[in-house]
Amino acid sequence: MTDTIGSLKEKYGTISASLRAEYGQPAWRQHLPPVDELVSTILSQSTSDLNRDKGFYALKERFPSWSAVRDAPVQDIVDTIRPAGLANQKGPRIQEALVAITNDKGDPSLDHLNELSIEDAKAYLTGINGIGPKTAAIILLFAFGRPAFPVDTHVHRVTGRIGLIPPKMNAEKAHAFLEGIVPEADYYPFHLQVIQHGRQVCDARNPRCGICVVQETCDYFRGLSEPERAKKLDSGEA
């Protein structure tokens, strides 16, 4: 990628306008309370949203509070979240996170993050074993409305194809990079727009370039051969 930060910001403006026209401009709302968001995000790793939710709501139904989850035998947690997959890894990870927060704050609460700078809040979360930049950004953005830009599988794939991040940049480094390209006020809507685009159009195996609203500015599409581009445009990829 030879684009400068300035040219990438200009490119972002064009792309975001197209995605906004296609998917709308969602206003921020709290998706889950902070600790709920933490647990849900841990459960989301390497599974579908449906299975994540099965494991999450099974926990909520079985245990009256996150303190009860923290104090339960770990095998009970593992058995409860099996629908989410990788239960043997996720169960201990959830308990360890709840214990770490309790040891620091006296109970399993993350409300104090609102009192910290965004960098200190990120550092606090990523200092908990099992919480990386993506989970930290999700908690801060979706639970608090703080300026953090999560890079999940869809966001990493789509922004890489479009050319907003360098081709070989991993998801961890992409968090800070995209935060330097995307205006803070757009973190929430742009994140959701890119995820929707990734699910509906920019598929991992067969991107539907023929119906893509950002094809003219997409590095992937422009990198296709003339016959490949023509084939996608003729088929409509609908």
Name residue 167's amino acid: P
Q: Tell me the per-residue pLDDT of 28-37, one tens digit each, with 9 for 90 and over.
A: 999 999 999 9
Burial 203-230 (b: 16+ CB within 10 A, else e): eeeebbbbbbbbbebbebbeeeeeeebe
SS3 letters for 48-99? CHHHHHHHHHHHHHHCCCHHHHHHCCHHHHHHHCHHHCCHHHHHHHHHHHHH
The mean predicted confidence, pLDDT, of the chain is 94
The domain at 34-144 falls in which architecture?
Answer: Orthogonal Bundle (1.10)
Residue-level pLDDT at 236:
59
Smallest CA-to-CA distance from 107 within 137, 70, 154 is with 70
Residue-level pLDDT at 235:
65
CA distance 82 to 229: 44
Residue 1 pLDDT exceeds 70:
no
Residue 231 pLDDT exceeds 90:
no
Residue 60 pLDDT exceeds 80:
yes
CA distance 11 to 102: 44
**Least confident among 81-90, 136-145, 189-198, 218-227:** 218-227
Burial 89-106 (b: 16+ CB within 10 A, else e): ebbebbbbbbebbbeeee
Average pLDDT for residues 11-15, to the nearest whole number? 97
Cα–Cα separations (whole angstroms), residue 54 to 42, 67, 143: 13, 20, 20
pLDDT band (50, 70, 90) for residue 27: very high
Residue 238 pLDDT exceeds 80:
no
Average pLDDT for residues 79-101, to the nearest whole number? 96
Residue 40 pLDDT exceeds 60:
yes
Please state which CATH number belongs to domain 5-26+151-235: 1.10.1670.10
pTM over 0.75: yes
| % of the chain surpassing 70 pLDDT | 97
Residue-level pLDDT at 75:
97
Average pLDDT for residues 129-135, to the nearest whole number? 91
| Domain extents in the chain | 5-26+151-235, 34-144
Average pLDDT for residues 216-228, to the nearest whole number? 91
pLDDT band (50, 70, 90) for residue 233: confident
CA distance 236 to 238: 5
Q: Tell me the per-residue pLDDT of 134-191, one tens digit each, with 9 for 90 and over.
A: 999 999 999 999 999 999 999 999 999 999 999 899 999 999 999 999 999 999 999 9
Residue-level pLDDT at 150:
96
